[in-house]
Structure 1
Amino acid sequence: MNYKQTIQTSLKSIWIILKLVIPIYILADVLFYYNVLSNFSFLVEPLTTLMGLPAEASLAIISGIFLNLYAAIAFAAPLDLSIHQWSILAVFLGVCHSLVVESVIMKKIGLSNLYSYSLRIIAGFVLGVITSLMPSSWFSSSITKSNYSNDVYSSIGELLYNSLFNSVILSLKIIILITLLIFIMDFIKTRNFIKESKKNVSKGFSLTVGVFLGITYGAGILISEVQSGRIKENDVFYIGTFLMICHAIIEDTLLFVIFGADFTMVILIRTLAAIVISYLLLFIYKRSKNNLLSTSS
């Protein structure tokens, strides 16, 4: 294991977190203070309403979809979300985040941007609604809601001071978690069975890597095989579809668990959904291919 490279990766991640989370957290607090968010909430308010989330969660959803989970959490952290609501947000954004970047990766293995965007947005929304319809008693967490309650400030100066303090605390929590995960993931990546498996990519191995290490690594080990034509088109479609719904399942979920999301329920919902949706879409994909072949012949 290259500790120097791992430390460098950790430092880069820490810098990204600090320059992203702190200003966005403070911006979110200022927007809440002046009630600015209500002017923009209409953009995705139908989505938030159907998923049982407050309208103020709209910026968290928008930033998560087009930016990343850190930006989404920075906007959502000041909200007084329940355990159930944090779990809903974790399910939706676990499926539907960083679309621009991750869709580029999926395109390299042969899945179009249109398919990637459509699948993740629709699947994320449907799963969010399904999660919201589940009884709140099914969701539990060791994080108490009082730890993240909103404060009432008498002046903008007081707000900025407290917001800066809270954003630094939030950043430290995320930094500790991410640093530990980077060391763990880099350790896993350097194991011999990982290196050897890269030489003989299989469907099961690609899924396992993607589910635990993320789309970038899971799809990355497939790219050369896809380009060489050594892996079946149906397998590429299945793996890509599965990973878009269920990837980096531990890391992504833990970010929301910090605030109260139910770790077990979020993982269970995303995993079961990925299995069902992937097999269903693969069946449709095969049928459409066969119909096209029969028509052309």
Structure 2
Amino acid sequence: MRKIDWRRGWRSGLETTWELTKVILPVTLVVSVLKYTPVIEWLVEGLTPLMGWFGLPGEAAVPLALGNLLNLYAAIGAILTMDLTVKQVLILAVMLSFSHNLLVETALCRRVGLNPFLVASVRIGLALISALLIHILWSGGGERASFGWVGAAEDVPEGWGEIILLALKTALTGALQLALVVIPLMIGIQVLKDIQVLDRFAGWMKPLMRPLGLDPRGAVTMAGGLLFGLAMGAGVIIQQAREQQFSRREMTLIILFLAACHAVVEDTLLFVPLGVNIFALLLIRLGAAIFLTVTVAWLWPKDRGASVSVRGDHA
């Protein structure tokens, strides 16, 4: 039996947690403070005229803003307080599946050397196009949506002191939750590497990777993003980008696929309390990811240029 390097797994987990925390902590802190200022209200007012284009009421801008600036949990909590139709809930679910937690996840994509504007634009574009198509093509879903549970009301802090304390609590809790996921994840990845499971997994993924225009070396990266998402799976993505030395084309194709379809278990199941057809939601995301990746791979000929540079690496 092959020896497992537990120390290396712990070290990789701690280093990755620190890298991600440097991005997530300040973003969460700032946005948590902005929640209690007029900034979010101004943003919602600016988006309200656009909601009608997608068959949504003006108040739908609230969960969209919260989901893109914070996370899906905040967005779903807002949706649970609204009076919406089944169709409107599906449109919101699809939009938020494509475009959420933009500040953190886009910053993490930047760490693997990709243009953050490109990643954010693709995700927002997919959200808008899919919402418009559902609004135009689906005539059903007009009945009132019924939710399985209602989110607990959040106490509104009084004064800047309480706001800052609550923001710090939110940011630190998020960092702790991240560590509780990333450290075991990186240890598990090290175990799988030491017993060579990942090598075999790459072989199993090979028939699925090539039709997408992806090199089989990206199988582990794809698995990390699909299962754990761009934020939680960033440790795997960053580590693999360093080890595999992906070209810019390879890394771009992988990230574009994952931008459309990531965290397929968690992100999909989160919408169960809203009564969303999760199979339809998953098929829409997967179909968009495949179409986008195959199209870009066909338009972008293979290259053998320099590999992408992972930020934080030393020359």
Q: TM-score, normalised by structure 2?
A: 0.60
2:188 equivalent to 1:190: yes
Quote the residue 2:299 is aligned against. 284
Aligned equivalents of 2:134 and 2:283: distance in 1?
A: 11
Quote the residue 1:221 is aligned against. 236
CA shift for structure 1 position 202: 2.6
Three-state SS of the structure 1 residue aligned to 2:100 is coil
Give the letter for the 1:190 counterpart. G
Q: Is the 8 A contact 1:207 1:218 kept in 2?
A: no
Quote the residue 2:249 is aligned against. 234
Quote the residue 1:258 is aligned against. 273
Q: Is the 8 A contact 1:103 1:117 kept in 2?
A: yes
CA shift for structure 1 position 135: 2.4
Report 1:138-157 matches (<5 A).
145=146
Equivalent of residue 227 in structure 2, options 194, 212, 218: 212
Give the letter for the 1:276 counterpart. F
More helix by share: 1
Equivalent of residue 88 in structure 1, options 91, 99, 104: 91
Decide whether aligned partners of structure 1 residues 271 and 76 sit closer, same or farther in structure 2, where only a CA change above 3 A counts.
same
Quote the residue 2:80 is aligned against. 77
Per-residue deviation, residues 167-209 of structure 1 (Å, max 9, x unmatched): xxxxxxxxxxxx9xx99xx689737547645688832332122
Q: TM-score, normalised by structure 1?
A: 0.63
CA shift for structure 1 position 286: 3.4
Percent identity of paired positions between Structure 1 and Structure 2: 27
Decide whether aligned partners of structure 1 residues 47 and 224 sit closer, same or farther in structure 2, where only a CA change above 3 A counts.
same
CA shift for structure 1 position 254: 1.7
Per-residue deviation, residues 255-297 of structure 1 (Å, max 9, x unmatched): 222111110111100110011012222333438x79xxxxxxx
Quote the residue 1:123 is aligned against. 126
Give the letter for the 1:203 counterpart. G
Aligned equivalents of 1:95 and 1:136: distance in 2?
A: 22
Per-residue deviation, residues 112-134 of structure 1 (Å, max 9, x unmatched): 11112211111111112122234
2:64 equivalent to 1:61: yes
CA shift for structure 1 position 104: 1.3
Decide whether aligned partners of structure 1 residues 147 and 228 sit closer, same or farther in structure 2, where only a CA change above 3 A counts.
closer
CA shift for structure 1 position 82: 2.2
Per-residue deviation, residues 57-82 of structure 1 (Å, max 9, x unmatched): 11111111111112212222111122
Number of aligned residue pairs = 234
Three-state SS of the structure 2 residue aligned to 1:276 is helix
CA shift for structure 1 position 224: 3.5
Three-state SS of the structure 1 residue aligned to 2:270 is helix
CA shift for structure 1 position 138: 7.8
CA shift for structure 1 position 87: 1.6
Give the letter for the 1:103 counterpart. T
Structure 1 unaligned spans of 5+: 1-19, 28-36, 150-161, 166-178, 291-297
Q: Is the 8 A contact 2:85 2:142 kept in 1?
A: no
Quote the residue 1:268 is aligned against. 283
Per-residue deviation, residues 99-155 of structure 1 (Å, max 9, x unmatched): 110111111112111112211111111112122234254899xx9627679xxxxxx
Q: Is the 8 A contact 2:225 2:237 kept in 1?
A: no
Aligned equivalents of 1:85 and 1:219: distance in 2?
A: 31
Give the superposed CA RMSD.
4.3
Quote the residue 1:101 is aligned against. 104
Decide whether aligned partners of structure 1 residues 205 and 126 sit closer, same or farther in structure 2, where only a CA change above 3 A counts.
same
